[in-house]
Amino acid sequence: MSSPRWSAPVAHAPVDATVPLPGSKSMTNRALILAALAEAPTCITRPLHSRDTELMADALRALGSGIGEDAADWQVLPQRLAGPARVDVGLAGTVMRFLPPVAALASGEVSVDGDPRARERPMGPIIAALRALGAEIDDGGRDALPFTVRGSGSVAGGGVTIDASASSQLVSGLLLSAPRFDKGVEVRHEGPPVPSAPHLAMTVQMLRAAGAEVETRHDVWRVAPGPLRGGEVVIEPDLSNAAQFLGAALVTGGRVTVPDWPAETAQPGDALRGLLAAMGAEVTRGPDGLTVRGGDGFGGLDADLHEVGELTPVLAALAALAGSPSRLTGIAHLRGHETDRLAALVAEINGLGGDARELPDGLEIRPRPLRGGVFRTYDDHRMVMAAALLGLAVPGIEVENPGTVGKTLPNFTRQWASMLAPA
């Protein structure tokens, strides 16, 4: 259901704000899977509460997991997984790729479907992999949603080769459930490079923290069968959701601080430190968090974003406002995300008078004076964030369906307005 258009506010002065962020979606949904498969209860502290994470929690509840709330935290009590069940994955890549291996461990049928666009997203490799590992899946020959997993209560596991060049989630989905497979799993990737290596590192890190035995080498991941422990999992702030707030410091020549920025993290959003510095920002990390300061203008960016593709929409918006051209490459896989992000960014930037064009694996953006207009978001949360950043410098931008940002940051428009409010 669409929400009314949002008039993106213009910044009339440099921003000077501290912006706390909710928890990481990527960490929250991995923690929920591991907790549901653990042998003891788990407390997930400071999780993200958003459409994507609620979809994951509801999916696991449908399979029998006990997931309750204690204030803002989630308490997960492992239970026997069983169908029949119906699961809605929405448009969440983590749910559509992480949940089917869990469903294969359940006893009974689990029907899996999602939003219309979800039926177009790459699922063939994980369906084929699960079949090779011993699961029974009826997808009507589509290699896509909707499909039914006919679980027997166990999965044999073993070795499997897949092409995960469309999404690292195809590997992570298999690894997260692998400790519960009879033989564990060895996943071997064959094909173009797997995107978003930091997310795979996050999966491995969280598996090991839960007690799993994981070995990795180039394009091979091995997880041994064994128990997962419960306990407490503390979720870091979502660093990718910091992109537009930190970018506002560049656009307005101001200052934005994000508290609790971790000293070490597997989150792809940590790359913002180097990327924004390359555009001319002053970036420092201290006791108060990560602080970005802008000055009188900023330059374009020439960067390979293969590992951090989710940052592309905001970086493209910055590029459209920069003082020199930008070239963003390594991101052909974004054509299979919530929308075809490359085509969407070109259409919307050019619709405001900009000069953006698609490359075989990315975008080339040359700054031009922009004008107001409707910015379509294609049910993609990061398109809303890109539009908000453009709106700081371009009066009259009307953002279509801003409510889609609830996928990862439900209070975004309120936080955006708060950031711009005078101190």
Instruction: Tell me the per-residue pLDDT of 59-76, one tens digit each, with 9 for 90 and over.
Output: 999 999 999 987 789 999
Q: What is the pLDDT of residue 339?
A: 79
Asked if residue 297 and residue 197 are part of one domain, the reply reads: no
Max Cα distance, the chain (Å): 63
- Asked if residue 411 and residue 397 are part of one domain, the reply reads yes
Assigned domain for 117 exists = yes
Cα 258 to Cα 274: distance, rounded to the nearest angstrom: 15
CA–CA distance, 7 with 94 (Å, rounded to integer): 31
Helices marked H in 63-105: 93-105
Residues 113 and 195 in one domain: yes
Domain boundary pick from 161, 192, 222 = 222
pLDDT tens readout for residues 380-415:
999 999 999 999 999 999 999 999 998 889 899 999
In a domain, 13, yes or no: yes
- Mean per-residue pLDDT over the chain, rounded: 95
| Residue 325, pLDDT score | 98
Asked whether the predicted pLDDT for residue 423 surpasses 70, the reply is no
80-91 mean pLDDT: 93
* Residue 229 falls inside a structural domain: no
Tokens read off for 53: 């994470």
C-alpha–C-alpha distance, residues 53 and 393, integer Å = 33
Comparing 13-17, 127-131, 332-336, which segment has the lowest mean pLDDT? 332-336
CATH assignment at residue 252: 3.65.10.10
Residue 375: predicted pLDDT:
97
Same domain (yes/no): 137, 162: yes
- Give me the amino acid identity at 406: G
- What's the alpha-carbon Rg for the chain, to the nearest Å? 21
Q: What is the pLDDT of residue 118?
A: 87
- Domain range spanning residue 218? 25-222
pLDDT score at 360 = 94
Whether omega before 146 lies within 30 degrees of 0, making that bond cis, reads: yes
Whether residues 255 and 326 share a domain: the answer is yes
In a domain, 227, yes or no: no
- Which residues carry out catalysis? 310
Residues 214 and 256 reside in one and the same domain? no
* Dihedral over Cα of 130, 133, 136, 142: its sign: positive
Last residue of a domain, which of 193, 222, 251? 222
Q: Are residues 329 and 414 in the same domain?
A: yes
- Same domain for 188 and 336? no
Instruction: Report pLDDT digits (tens) over 1-11.
Output: 567 899 999 99
Given this model, what pLDDT does residue 202 score? 96
Residue 306 contacts residue 280 (beta carbons within 8 Å): no
Strand (E) or helix (H) holding 29: helix 25-37
pTM for this prediction:
0.89
pLDDT band at 35 (very low <50, low <70, confident <90, very high): very high
Assigned domain for 15 exists:
yes
Q: What is the pLDDT of residue 2?
A: 67
Mean pLDDT of the 285-294 span: 96
The answer to whether residue 230 sits within a structural domain is no
Angle, CA of 31, 35 and 38, to the nearest 5°? 140
Does residue 98 fall inside a structural domain?
Answer: yes
Q: Has residue 233 been placed in a domain?
A: no
| % of the chain at pLDDT higher than 90 | 88
Residues tagged in the binding site annotation for 3-phosphoshikimate: 25-26, 30, 167-169, 196, 310, 337
Residues 47 and 165 in one domain: yes
The residue type found at 358 is: E
Q: Are residues 314 and 243 in the same domain?
A: yes
pLDDT recorded at residue 338: 75
pLDDT tens track for 152-196: 999 999 999 999 998 899 999 999 999 999 999 999 999 999 988
Alpha-carbon distance of 369 to 237, in angstroms, equals: 35
Average pLDDT over residues 136-141: 94
Do both 372 and 405 map to the same domain? yes
pLDDT, tens only, 341-350? 999 999 999 9
**Annotated binding site: which residue ranges?**
25-26, 30, 93, 121, 167-169, 196, 310, 337, 341, 382, 407
Residues 262 and 318 in one domain: yes
Beta-bridge mates of residue 16 = 255
Question: And the tokens for 282?
Answer: 């002053």
The CA distance from 281 to 295, in Å, is: 7
Domain boundary (222, 255, 273) is at 222
The residue with tokens 């990737």 is: 189
Domains in the chain: how many in total?
2
The mean pLDDT value for 352-362 works out to: 97
